Amino acid sequence: MSDEEDDEIILSELETEDLVLQMHDDLYDGLREEIEEGVNILLERGWQPYDVLTKALVAGMTIVGNDFRDGILFVPEVLLAANAMKAGMAILKPLLAETGAPRMGKMVIGTVKGDIHDIGKNLVSMMMEGAGFEVVDLGINNPVEAYIEAAAREEADIVGMSALLTTTMPYMKVVIDAMVAQGIRDDYIVLVGGAPLNEEFGRAIGADAYCRDAAVAVETAKDFIARKHNQMAAG
Ligand code: B12
């Protein structure tokens, strides 16, 4: 073993609190294997998958996001961090989906045209699946037709759109306007999300709701589905 390797931090020997901080550092440095190892250690120590996701991964990504904003990190580094985050999420995905919840409804979700950010969208997909929704993920860079065709084909209850750029978020209105023009807007619950959005924007473009994070997305979706069922029962 070289001297360098001798100095390496052994993740499994860290106290949990230090391990989480180390994982924030490792995510920052885009260390995929270390993130996978950290996720597994936290799970072995009895952490709930959702806590691992939010406290270790999402919290670490927030630090990356701040330094990207401030010009300390650049695209290649952020991409490495994003890949490390995805590797961690891949371990958590089956665990979050394992709740055996009854089928709640079906959601078609995708990132809008011109936008390739997909971590938040993937997280929403995972959490929705975990809550019992069936999710059809359209991936990134979706034009109007992709949403509308998939929603019809899949007989979706919910259409979800994600945008992370101020330049791509207006495209959500293009999709909703097309749905209105085709007379199908009210066939779906339209949920929108992404860091630059807010409630006012969601209202202005005619979405049913803006959701600030994946947990809110699940609660909001459940709410709307329950209302839809009540309406059907009443009608
Ligand atoms: C990772 C990242 C990247 C990665 C993306 C990798 C990937 N596979 O996703 C890479 C390096 C590729 C990238 C590229 C770019 N990026 Co970028 N990126 C980020 C960063 C740091 C983190 C985003 C993220 O993953 N967050 C973590 C997730 C968990 O959070 P989230 O996405 O917000 O999702 C949550 C909620 O918003 C909500 N949600 C999200 N979607 C949906 C959908 C629905 C239906 C619902 C209900 C809820 C919901 O729930 C999610 C989970 O809780 C942000 C910084 C930031 N503060 O957001 C910049 C940021 C978004 N990027 C930015 C920029 C400028 C770019 C580039 C233009 C840079 C460049 N010069 O090339 C390109 C654009 C490429 C393109 N055409 O899309 C800017 C946008 C600025 C703006 N005002 O528009 C930001 C804000 C950074 C900054 N402050 O400058 N980026």
Nearest CA residue ID for atom 14, ligand 1: 75
CATH of domain 106-234: 3.40.50.280
Q: What is the CA radius of gyration of the chain?
A: 19
- Dump pLDDT digits (tens) for 136-194: 999 999 999 999 999 999 999 999 999 999 999 999 999 999 999 999 999 999 999 99
Q: Which residues of 100-139 are buried (b: 16+ CB within 10 A; e: fewer)?
A: eeeebbbbbbbbbbbbebbbbbbbbbbbbbbbbbebbbbe
* Rounded-to-integer distance, Cα 72 and Cα 68, Å: 6
Q: Domain segments of the chain: what residues?
A: 14-99, 106-234
Q: Does the C-beta of 157 come closer than 6 Å to ligand 1?
A: no
**Residue scoring higher pLDDT (234 or 189):** 189
- Dump pLDDT digits (tens) for 65-75: 889 889 999 98
191: helix, strand or coil: strand
pLDDT of residue 59: 92
Task: State what percent of residues in the chain have pLDDT above 90.
Answer: 75
Predicted confidence band at 14 (pLDDT cuts at 50, 70, 90)? very high
Topology given in CATH for the domain delimited by 14-99: 1.10.1240
Q: Does the C-beta of 88 come closer than 6 Å to ligand 1?
A: no
Q: Do domains 14-99 and 106-234 have the same CATH topology?
A: no
- Dump pLDDT digits (tens) for 87-105: 999 999 888 877 655 668 9
Distance 168 CA to ligand 1 centre (A): 11
φ/ψ of 105, rounded to 5, equals 155, 180
pLDDT of residue 115: 98
User: 176 near 190, Cβ under 8 Å?
Assistant: yes
Distance 8 CA to ligand 1 centre (A): 31
Q: Structure pTM? A: 0.88
Predicted confidence band at 113 (pLDDT cuts at 50, 70, 90)? very high
Q: Does the C-beta of 196 come closer than 6 Å to ligand 1?
A: yes
Tokens of 205: 């473009």
User: 135 near 125, Cβ under 8 Å?
Assistant: yes
pLDDT of residue 4: 47
Pocket test for ligand 1, best of 138, 164, 169 (most atoms within 8 A of CB): 164
